[in-house]
Structure 1
Amino acid sequence: MNFIEAIILAIIEGITEYLPISSTGHMIIGSSLMGISELDFTKAFEVNIQFGAILSVVVLYWKRFFQSFEFYKKLLAAFIPAAIIGFILNDFIDQLLESVAVVAIMLVLGGVILLFIDKFFEKRASKENITYIEAVQIGLFQCIAMIPGVSRSAATIIGGMFQGLSRKDSAEFSFFLAVPTMFAASAYKLLKGFKTGTLSFSENEIQLLLVGNIVAFIVAMIAIRFFISYLQKYGFKVFGYYRIIVGLIILGLLAAGYDLHVI
């Protein structure tokens, strides 16, 4: 991986992490198109730069992270389902991450859902707060996003709307929930790699990781601001169309015989 490829992947991560279009799916597609998806460092890089994206939420919403202990307890309640299921199914999830076809199919299916989700919730009254049980239920929605291409953001936002939250409040709760979820998942994979001796970084790779995290942090801050504003005005439909188009293009390339792992 060179610096241009690292910056491209970091931009993809920053843009897609908090939008309902699947960051994991886009990074799998992006690294495949650049021909670096099978490198061990690429997989570690994609995990590591999530820390930059996490930091963007903490910086943008730092006041919310100091508002009350109740805030943390509800985040913990929502985080527990993914922590348990992710730990149990870790190896199976890693296998799914190797499949561009799975990503493409889930992009299309998720896109179809987003086309109709606004109409489904348009007549529902919204509320500002959720109970602990509702937080756990949002956490269960998050578990669906362990399938690459689903989108953690989309799953948790829809989960929040099912619990009665507005689009804005659902999106912000999704951002907050990303902090413990992404931190735990990323830290677990990195620590596992270091412990087993399968993961180590050269000086050049450390520089790539530093640049990647900085770029992901900056781009994610911009993307979050854009997404909240856009979502309140226009809803999810454009993201649905985008997912369907990208998914169908990838499926078309695969059907035509292109091996996206070696392009």
Structure 2
Amino acid sequence: MSIIQAIIIAIIEGITEYLPISSTGHMIIASSFMGIEKQEFTKLFEVAIQLGAILAVVVLYWRKFFPTRAEGGINWKFYLKLIIGVIPALVLGYLFSDKIDALLESPTTVAVSLFAGGFVLLFIDRLFNHPTVKTVDQISYPKAFITGIWQVIAMIPGVSRSAASIIGGMQQKMTREIAAEFSFFLAVPTMAAATLYSLFLKKWTQSGIEQKGYQIILASKENTIAFAIGNIVAFVVAIIAIKFFIDYLKKYGFKAFGWYRIIVGGVLLLLVYKGVIS
């Protein structure tokens, strides 16, 4: 993976991580088009640059995560909701890690997920149009947990973690804006856990040798530079994407994202069928 390729992948991560269009799916598509070989560093990179996207949420919503004493101090109930909401993803992600990795190499899985999810987004505003939860503080612990269960669906590449958790939040009577914001907040522990696991706990086989993720990153100057630049780019782009998404969502809803997914999924299925992408 070249530095230019790393920057392109990081831009895609920053744009798509919090939009309901699947960051993993788009990175798989981009990697296929650019002919990036699926080495261990490439797979690790696509997970590790989530650190930049995570930091974007914390910076944009830092008062929610770290309120001052004048604002009431740390809201432990908020943190507890995130812990409860992330439990399903942590448990099932750990149990099915290898199977998830296998799916990450399948453009067909991504295409079908994008296509099917698009139809859901076309009708989501009609399905859940009577919200009663209008602030994050009104989200109960059971609602946080059920939203976390919805998020688990996003372990299938192409589904979109953002889309799954937003749909789950709206199903739990949240407004689309609050569902989106809670999806962002829930992403922080979810993605942090996945990234830290990939960096420090998971064993990767590089050139026949088992290594930890951070060892692969530090194994060469090129890997280290790609990792650093990728996270910086993902951070900056994610901030812009989050601001755009919230403003757009308030005015227009999800229909445009639904059509986008259907078109991209359909084109990708055609490319897989024609053998352009394998």
Structures share a fold, TM > 0.5?
Answer: yes
The percentage of aligned residue pairs carrying the same residue is 58
Q: Where in structure 2 are the equivalents of 1:220-239 lying within 5 Å?
A: 220-239=238-257
Cross-structure match for 1:204 = 222
Give the partner amino acid of 1:227: F
Q: Which moved more, 1:116-125 or 1:52-61?
A: 116-125
Hey, what does 1:243 align to over in structure 2? 261
Q: CA RMSD in A?
A: 1.4
Give the structure 2 partner of residue 76 of structure 1: 83
Contact 2:40 2:204 survives alignment (8 Å): no
Other-structure match for 2:166: 157
- Which ranges of 4 or more aligned residues in structure 1 deviate by more than 6 Å? none
Moved more, 124-133 or 34-43: 124-133
Following superposition, the deviation at residue 42 of structure 1 comes to 1.2
Tell me, yes or no, if the aligned pair for 2:54 and 2:187 is still in contact at 8 Å: yes
* 1:38-62: CA deviation from partner (whole Å, max 9, x where unpaired): 1222111111110000000000000
Paired residues of 1:56 and 1:217 also in contact (CA < 8 A)? yes
| 1:131-181, Cα deviation, whole Å (9 max, x unpaired) | 111111000000000000000000001111111111111101000100000
The residue that corresponds to 1:119 in the other structure is 126
3-state SS of paired residue (1:197): strand
Alignment of 1:157-196 (within 5 A): 157-191=166-200, 192-193=202-203, 196=210
Note the C-alpha offset of 1:198.
Answer: 6.0
CA separation of 1:198 and 1:123: change in aligned 2, threshold 3 A: closer
- Work out whether residues 48 and 198 of structure 2, in 8 Å CA contact, stay in contact via their aligned partners in 1: no
Query: Where does the alignment leave 5 or more consecutive residues of structure 2 unmatched?
Result: 68-74
Letter in 2 for 1:193: K
Letter in 1 for 2:172: Q
Q: Structure 1: which amino acid aligns with 2:76?
A: F
- 1:100-115 matched pairs, under 5 angstroms: 100-115=107-122
Shifted more, 166-175 versus 187-196: the winner is: 187-196
**1:66-125 CA-partner distances (Å, limit 9, x unpaired):** 240110000000000111111111111111111100000000000010001011122444
Alpha-carbon distance between aligned partners in 2 of 1:90 and 1:65, rounded to the nearest angstrom:
29
Q: Structure 1 CA distance, aligned partners of 2:37 and 2:123? A: 33
Q: How far apart are the structure 1 equivalents of 2:81 and 2:132?
A: 21
- Aligned positions, number: 260
Residue 37 (structure 1) shift: 4.4
Distance 1:46 1:158 in 2: 24
Unpaired runs of 5+ residues, structure 1, are: none
Give the AA of the match of 2:211: G
Which residues in structure 2 correspond to 1:25-44 (within 5 Å)? Answer: 25-44=25-44
Map residues 46-57 of structure 1 onto 2, 5 A cutoff.
46-57=46-57
Counterpart among 237, 241, 246 of residue 219 in structure 1: 237
